[in-house]
Amino acid sequence: MENKIYDTPVLFIDRSRIRQNYLDLKKALPPFRIAYAIKSNSHPEIIDILKKEGSHFETASIAEIEKLLALGVKADEIVLSNPVKAPDAIRRALEHGVTIQSFDSVEELEKFKPHAGASAPLSHRVRPQLRIVVPNEGSMWPLSGKFGADEELWPAIFQYMKDHEIPLDGITFHPGSQCETISGWDSAMYLTWRCIEIAREYGLNPTTINIGGGFPVNLGRKIPTAAEIGKVVIRHLKEWERKGFKPQDLIVEPGRFISGSAGVLATKVVGVARREKTWAFLDCGVFTGMMETIDGITYPMLFSSKAEKETAMLCGPSCDSVDKMYEAQIPAAKPGDAILFLSAGAYTSVYASEFNGFLGPKMVFIDQIKDPADLFSLLA
């Protein structure tokens, strides 16, 4: 551990844990390219650690692609998995050489058209990946609705591809962020096979399979391990192989799984108001990183105080009524008490704004956090 002292809020990131999470997933899914979803935490140091391990990267925007290129990531190590993009974003990504691009509608295929035919140079020719809808019922944040084509839409999409000679390079799905049941992957793989079969009826031959993200982190409930999820996915791949289909490119896009468990968000109580409820005001809130709390996340917590516990509504420091997190049992709070939020490395710092003059957590990298409770000694 280091000897420096840090003001809160601060997001400690465990370098060894980033690396280990990557290796665990690689072990669970050996034939897959791992493309880290940088939206979960795009800090250059995380990208650098993963790059050294051989990771590839998943993006949604030109800014994310250009950030990676500037950090020395090669274009063919980047996938653009945003199914709906500005026409200009498609063109610029291809100019950079980022060819794997998702879509989920005929409307998006229209934008691909100029970049799909033989007239486009091979290095800049789009490799369209159809994002299909799969059940998201085990996920805390279902992604279906906004994204994905369901089975009814496949015929029109495939007909359009056939008519306009746009190849279907691959199929992709997302079981939803923080997917806590293994059945999510099982049914998604069945649906993917069905999609492959229907695509073939239109003369299309997808060879890339991208199983998205959704691998969960410990938020205090029972979750499947990467190994358990990998086993289900690999079982399907073997079945496909028996049927004569072996994908040429397999991709997985973990975000939270890599960066989530590696992060501990340290905050302090700035004030308490004991009214009908007890309100504990922290120096980090919804607008400074804890955005997912408004959508239901609750983090495992550690406390510096040994006081008797009480129920308190945790809220952020701003004057905004939305800046409320969740009710929890915490030691009777007083200003200066420290609270550590575990599994908070993903989807926290990246959401921070500077609303009301409160800044998001500074990020501090530590070689290894043996026991999160040791972090209390690093706080001012």
Q: How many amino acids of this chain bind its own copies (CB under 8 A)? A: 71
Binding part of the chain for its own copies, among 61-69, 185-193, 222-230, 299-307 by CB under 8 A, reads 61-69
Sole binder of its own copies in the list 25, 29, 46, 143 (CB under 8 A): 143
Q: Nearest approach, Cβ of 349 to its own copies (angstroms)? A: 9
Nearer to its own copies, 342 or 352 (CB): 352
Binding part of the chain for its own copies, among 13-21, 54-62, 71-79, 158-166 by CB under 8 A, reads 54-62
Binding to its own copies (CB under 8 A): which residues in 180-219? none
Sole binder of its own copies in the list 232, 270, 332, 364 (CB under 8 A): 270
Nearer to its own copies, 24 or 180 (CB): 180
Contact between 328 and its own copies by CB under 8 A: the answer reads no
Contact between 319 and its own copies by CB under 8 A: the answer reads yes
Sole binder of its own copies in the list 232, 240, 356, 364 (CB under 8 A): 356
Q: x/- binding map, residues 122-141, to its own copies, per CB under 8 A?
A: -------------------x
Nearer to its own copies, 61 or 181 (CB): 61
Q: Helix 226-242 to helix 183-201 angle, to the nearest 10 degrees?
A: 30
Tokens for 70, please give them.
């500037």
Binding part of the chain for its own copies, among 55-63, 71-79, 92-100, 120-128 by CB under 8 A, reads 55-63
Q: Nearest approach, Cβ of 21 to its own copies (angstroms)? A: 20
Contact between 274 and its own copies by CB under 8 A: the answer reads yes
Contact between 105 and its own copies by CB under 8 A: the answer reads yes
Q: Nearest approach, Cβ of 8 to its own copies (angstroms)? A: 10
Contact between 9 and its own copies by CB under 8 A: the answer reads no
Q: Nearest approach, Cβ of 237 to its own copies (angstroms)? A: 25
Contact between 294 and its own copies by CB under 8 A: the answer reads yes
Q: x/- binding map, residues 74-93, to its own copies, per CB under 8 A?
A: -------xxxxxxx-x----
3-state secondary structure the chain: CCCCCECCCEEEEEHHHHHHHHHHHHHHCCCCEEEEECCCCCCHHHHHHHHHHCCEEEECCHHHHHHHHHCCCCHHHEEECCCCCCHHHHHHHHHHCCCEEEECCHHHHHHHHHHCCCCCCHHHCCEEEEEECCCCCCEEECCECCECECHHHHHHHHHHHHHCCCCCCEEECCCCEEECCCHHHHHHHHHHHHHHHHHHHCCCCCCEEECCCCCCCCCCCCCCCHHHHHHHHHHHHHHHHHCCCCCCEEEECCCHHHHCCCEEEEEEEEEEEECCCEEEEECCCHHHCCHHHHHCCCCCEEECCCCCEEEEEEECCCCCCCCEEEEEEEECCCCCCEEEECCCCCCCHHHCCCHHHCCCCEEEEECCCCCHHHHHHHEC
Contact between 111 and its own copies by CB under 8 A: the answer reads yes
